[in-house]
Amino acid sequence: MNKQQRFEHILGWFEANMPVAESELVYSNPYELLVAVMLSAQCTDKRVNMVTPALFEAYPTPEALAAATSDEVFEYVKSVSYPRSKAEHLVEMAQRLVNVYDSQVPDNIEDLQTLQGVGRKTANVVCAVIWNQPTMAVDTHIFRVSERIGLTTRSKNPLQTEKQLVRYIPEEVIPKAHHWLLLHGRYVCQARKPRCEECGIKEYCRFYGKNEKK
C-alpha cells in the first residue's frame, strides 16, 4: 500500500464512522476558544473545561481580561500546566487584541501569531475551528499518531508533520481531519499501549501491519 492509498483508506474510514468530529473544548465565541486553546497547551481539554467557566465569568471579554493582572488571572488557571506563564500570556494577548485588533480575534495565522503565547498550533486550531480554514494543527497526539499509522514518514518536528499531512488531505477535509487524528490518538491509538484490538483503521496502519508480520 502506498501513502496515497493509505490516506484514502484512513480518511474514508473516519468519514464513514466519525462524520462529526469537533473540539472537546467548551467555548461560545472566538475569544473564548483562543483562551481555551492557549490553556490547553500540555494540558488536557478536560482540565481546561473545568477552569474556563469561572475564568470566562470573571473575564467575559478581551477588554476585561486586558484590564486584569497576571496574578489575578493566575488564581483562575492555577490548576492547569504552567499557570504562571499562561496567566501572563493571556493578559498580554488580550491587551494586544484590544489595542491592535479592536478586540476581534484575527482570522489568519500570521496575525494570530503576533499575540503573546500564540504559536502556530494554536493559530491553526483557531483558524480551522472558527473559520473552517484548511489549517492542520499538529499537537503531540497528531505528531505521534500520524507517524505511527504511516501518514507521515520520519517527521522531526510538528511543521514537517503538518506539511506532509496537508499534501495528501483534501483542503475541505483538513479541519475535520485534525480532530479525527487527535481524538484517535487520545482514545484509541494511545502512546503507551495502542488499543489495536478495537481500532477501525488497523488494516491500513503501518504499525499494526509490521507487528502482524512479526
Q: Among 86, 139, 176, 202, which one carries the catalytic annotation?
A: 139
CA distance linking residue 193 with residue 122, whole number of Å: 27
| Torsions phi, psi for 54 (to 5 deg) | -70, -35
Residues in the chain: 214
Residue 38: exposed, middle, or buried by beta-carbon count in 10 A (0-12, 13-18, 19+)? buried
Of 78, 111, 121, 163, the active-site residue reads 121
Distance CA 93, CA 201 (A): 40
User: For residue 67, with 0-12 CB atoms within 10 Å meaning exposed, 13-18 middle and 19 or more buried, which class applies?
Assistant: middle
Instruction: Label residue 113 exposed, middle or buried (CB < 10 Å: 0-12, 13-18, 19+).
Output: middle
Residue of 25, 205, 14, 54 whose CA lies nearest to 126: 25
Find where cell 501518514 sits.
Answer: 151
Please indicate whether residue 139 is annotated as part of the active site: yes
Contact 205, 150 (CB under 8 A): yes
Coil/strand/helix, residue 199: coil
Q: Residue 170 in contact with residue 176, Cβ under 8 Å?
A: no
User: So which residues are the catalytic ones?
Assistant: 121, 139
